[in-house]
Structure 1
Amino acid sequence: MTVDDYIKIIKEFPQLLQYFVPGYLFLKSYTFFLANEWKTNSITIFESVAISYIFVLISDVLLKITGADDIVGFVFQVISAIIASFVITKFIESDLVLSITSFFGIKRSLRKSIWDDFVDQKNGNYVKVYLSSENTVYQGKLISYDFDKENSTQIAINRYKKFNLKDKLIDEAKDERWVILIKLDEVSRVEFYYAENSYVVKKYNNE
């Protein structure tokens, strides 16, 4: 490449960013808000360019209406890409989408895990966790869960009690400050307990 070629690339670099960065930020934010695994490949690059093109078209219309400069347009593209990814992920996680998919007989969850469908985010859940390796059972309030494909998935419960398989109490938390983390690969099954007014129960009973 000649010096002129490098100069040409430098001059066109801002435009190259314009047709890549908004889409890339959209995809990155989308996976972040859904807590999904992020992987970059050739398809991601193509998707970034395609999505960026949409934001560029929208910003061009706004720039013609407002008379703002290209810098304002680029800032708009970046901010709108992040906001759009947030709005879309919240829509995907909404009960409306679940109702639509159920209406069409689609049973597959659109959320990052089936736990997001069954955990009551408003009222909380008490769970009963059966450990296959220790032949013991933990019962307590589910306060957090995290899914990691590379590392062991874990759930956190407090106000817990530990029983053997004959329901004999072995141990219990002194208060709610005591929290236990349990690896799901050591669990044989989990039972969920819902409040009487739980929207999850009403949702799956079509009430």
Structure 2
Amino acid sequence: MNVIEILSFVGTELLWYGKPDIMLFPLGGNCSIVIPKDKNSENLLENEEQQAHTDNKKELTSLREHSNVSQFVAQAITFSFYQKRFQLLKPHYYQPRVTLIPTIAISDKCFDVYMYDTDNDILLRNEGDPIPLWNNLQNSSEATLNMGSVLQLWMLINHLQIQPDLSQSELEKFSGTCGFSSSFTYEHLKKIETECTMRSKFIYRN
């Protein structure tokens, strides 16, 4: 039996187009080399540690490059509209409906979380630097998985069951601060909500 793989993308032709929902950063991996311990090798190890630190810093900043952040925001908003439509199609299953939908921008060393609320036009991102996936990353031989980060990722993936939301005071403070919904008419927003779906092809328009 032949298996045909069909790639699916989330979106609507009323919004922007870009890369698929999962974005990878192929910055290369580390290679461990066993060498005799002498003065030259000690200098080499110091250089490798400095290079690893530089690579880690580069990967941290890559998640925050303007072009990448723009893409993540676009994906977060699009995915939130898709989730809203998905939940409205099955109201008996999703009670109460979750409006604060997360999108994870992740590399092999760290991740950022973007959360968009379609009902209140609120866009959030984790405060500070990207969240590390590893402990002691400067020394690859002692690096361990950050279990706190693993728990956060698990909660984000299962957001429809955990049902994240904001307090009433937070809603009053941040409602409309994204400025996305205010750039469209009510009718246009409703059309986006209706047509945002998953399919294998969208027509790109400049």
Q: Give the TM-score normalised by the residue count of structure 1.
A: 0.26
Q: Give the TM-score normalised by the residue count of structure 2.
A: 0.26
| Rg (Cα) greater in structure | 1
Q: Determine which structure has the larger strand proportion and give its number.
A: 1
